[in-house]
């Protein structure tokens, strides 16, 4: 019998609990034992910064794992923490999870690295801006992507996050996240060009061109007609395809939570 996405997320949240009053950052190594990790190795790793493989002595219901982390990644940095959390998420998703997508893996990793109770408390006191996002990520020593996913799941605001990467001069959607229950518009499919969702006057192009942050109400193309989103744009560096690329992170605020 398989495991649902809701069940594995609930399991991750249980494993990630920390004592009341504990302060971030929270090292992902604290989840090694409950995830079945029995050994950590620093070795060259290809394609990803960390990976897991089965260790002898485990069972189908209680597997044992060896975690390998690329020795070029400095320990306890956001890159290290994010890679280790993603590898731990794979151990939980290995247990017959149906429809284990990349989005689910990131959501599970975010639960392990950014425990919801202290994260939500911090998020409620953080401005919903690019600077606020960077502050949250720095405080929890977490990658930006995992921080955004957990911020959206915290319920402190409702909306989307999009990463538009410049490829041959054209912004292409390469990553996205949404609040639970929100559906992406048809034009926001991964691999879509910005022109499929945004108008040519979008502040996205201004941010890509000038490098400065921008925010305001954006006209968005939707199947039912034009809609308007309040969006914040910020320039980021995205390492992919053999080198860094100019990319724009967009935070779409549909509603500010309580």
Tens digits of per-residue pLDDT, 202-235?
A: 999 999 999 999 999 999 987 777 889 999 999 9
Q: Which one of 127, 153, 179 terminates a domain? A: 153
Q: Which helix (H) or strand (E) holds 247?
A: strand 243-256
Is there a single domain that holds both residue 237 and residue 205? yes
- Pair 76, 50: CB distance under 8 Å: no
- Pair 15, 35: CB distance under 8 Å: yes
The closest of 12, 141, 138, 17 to 75, measured between CA atoms, is: 141
User: Where in the sequence is the domain holding 119, given as residue range(s)?
Assistant: 5-153
Is there a single domain that holds both residue 129 and residue 53? yes
CATH number reported for the structural domain that contains residue 198 in this entry = 3.30.450.20
Q: Which helix (H) or strand (E) holds 113?
A: helix 102-113
Is there a single domain that holds both residue 36 and residue 135? yes
Identify the segments of the chain with pLDDT beneath 70.
1-2, 96-100, 239-244, 257-258
Number of domains into which the chain is organized: 2
Q: Look at residue 45 in the predicted model and tell me its pLDDT.
A: 85
Is there a single domain that holds both residue 17 and residue 144? yes
How far is Cα 4 from Cα 251, in angstroms, rounded to an integer? Answer: 28
Residues for the chain: how many in total?
Answer: 258
Is there a single domain that holds both residue 89 and residue 215? no
Is there a single domain that holds both residue 44 and residue 109? yes
User: Which alpha helices (H) appear in the chain, and where do they start and end?
Assistant: 5-15, 32-35, 78-93, 102-113, 116-124, 130-139, 144-153, 203-210
Q: Which helix (H) or strand (E) holds 228?
A: strand 227-240
Is there a single domain that holds both residue 41 and residue 168? no
Token digits for 55? 């260790």
Q: Which one of 95, 118, 153 terminates a domain? A: 153
Is there a single domain that holds both residue 127 and residue 203? no
Q: Look at residue 225 in the predicted model and tell me its pLDDT.
A: 75
Q: Look at residue 258 in the predicted model and tell me its pLDDT.
A: 46
Is there a single domain that holds both residue 176 and residue 241? yes
């Amino acid at each position: 019998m398989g495991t649902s996405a809701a069940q594995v997320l609930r399991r991750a949240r249980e494993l990630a609990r920390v004592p009341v009053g504990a302060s971030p950052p929270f090292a992902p190594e604290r989840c090694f034992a409950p995830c079945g990790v029995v050994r950590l190795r620093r070795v060259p790793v290809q394609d990803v910064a960390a990976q897991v493989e089965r260790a002898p002595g485990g069972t189908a219901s209680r597997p044992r794992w060896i975690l390998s982390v690329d020795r070029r990644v400095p320990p306890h940095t956001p890159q290290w923490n994010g890679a280790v959390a993603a590898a731990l998420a794979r151990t939980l998703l290995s247990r017959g999870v149906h429809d284990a997508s990349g989005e689910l893996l990131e959501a599970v990793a975010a639960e392990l690295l950014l425990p919801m109770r202290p994260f939500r408390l911090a998020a409620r006191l953080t401005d919903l801006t690019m600077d606020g996002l960077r502050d949250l990520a720095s405080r929890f020593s977490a990658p930006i992507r995992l921080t955004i996913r957990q911020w959206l799941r915290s319920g402190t605001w409702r909306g989307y996050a999009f990463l538009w990467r410049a490829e041959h001069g054209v912004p292409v959607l390469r990553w996205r996240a949404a609040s639970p229950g929100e559906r992406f518009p048809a034009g926001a499919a991964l691999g879509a060009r910005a022109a499929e969702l945004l108008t040519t006057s979008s502040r996205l192009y201004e941010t890509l061109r000038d490098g400065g942050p921008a925010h305001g109400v954006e006209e968005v193309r939707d199947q039912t007609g034009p809609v308007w989103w309040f969006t914040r744009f910020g320039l980021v560096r995205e390492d992919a395809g053999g080198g860094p690329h100019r990319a724009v992170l967009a935070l779409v605020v549909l509603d500010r939570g309580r």
